[in-house]
Amino acid sequence: MTEAQSYCREKYTDLATIDNMEDVNLLNSMVDLSRMIYPTYSYLAWIGLYDDVNSWRWSLSDRSFYTQEEAEFRNWASGEPNNKDNRQYCALIKDGQWADKSCDVLSTAVCMDVRGSNVTFVFISKTMTWTEAQSYCRANHTDLASVRNMEENQKIMELLPSRQDIWIGLFRDSWKWSDGSNSSFRYWITGEPNGPKENCAVADFSSSGKWVDVICDHRTAFICYSGKS
């Protein structure tokens, strides 16, 4: 994908960003499989979507709450985050340190109440998925907890009635567009993305242009775009 990205940026604008089904239908009408002559993956083409495995951010949307240093504070356990099975997009505290887990795991959580510069943490004993915990905290408090330093990490640990894992508000803001677009449109084949170390996306024109995650060093066709409409 890197070679394709460099070519598109040199000759055009960037690898293709796909914003909606109109774009998908346009590409399907333009594709000519007889010209996609690679011996394998001859029906696939790179688009500009990639998985930024190091892009973690806090659920709390009020970014003015943080200084840059606080926003970047991390307390990962050794070997974490490891994105096991390419499915671990959410963070929890485990034995005082952090680990990435599948967001569908059921766990207790810690919410936060923010009143100006005053922050209070609240332990929630109900077990929920990360998304359920986020919704609960936003409905009943301010948000899932942001942990800005070791002092706050310790305050959270002191709330726990027993040794257990708890969700915090950190999640991996993963699939992004090469050109920096904030488009949230996705058109994955059912079951995708699914592969460990498959951090780049292709359009599969044997499946109506739906997307598949693949290893980034495959050699295949690619789609550039020029300018913005």
pLDDT in tens, 107-146: 999 999 999 889 999 999 999 999 999 999 999 999 999 9
The answer to pTM > 0.75 is no
Output the pLDDT for position 40. Answer: 66
pLDDT score for 122: 98
Domain membership of residue 137 as a residue range: 56-172
Residue whose tokens read 């690679």? 38
Structural domain total, the chain: 2
Same domain, 41 and 63: no
Does 86 lie in the same domain as 7?
Answer: no
Q: Is 154 exposed, middle or buried (0-12, 13-18, 19+ CB in 10 A)?
A: exposed
> Does residue 91 sit in the same domain as residue 164?
yes
Q: Which residues of the chain have pLDDT under 70?
A: 37-40, 62-63, 195-196, 228-229
- Does residue 152 sit in the same domain as residue 218? no
Residues 157 and 204 in one domain: no
Only one residue has tokens 């020029």, namely: 226
Residues 152, 215 share a domain: no
* CATH number for the domain harbouring residue 24: 3.10.100.10
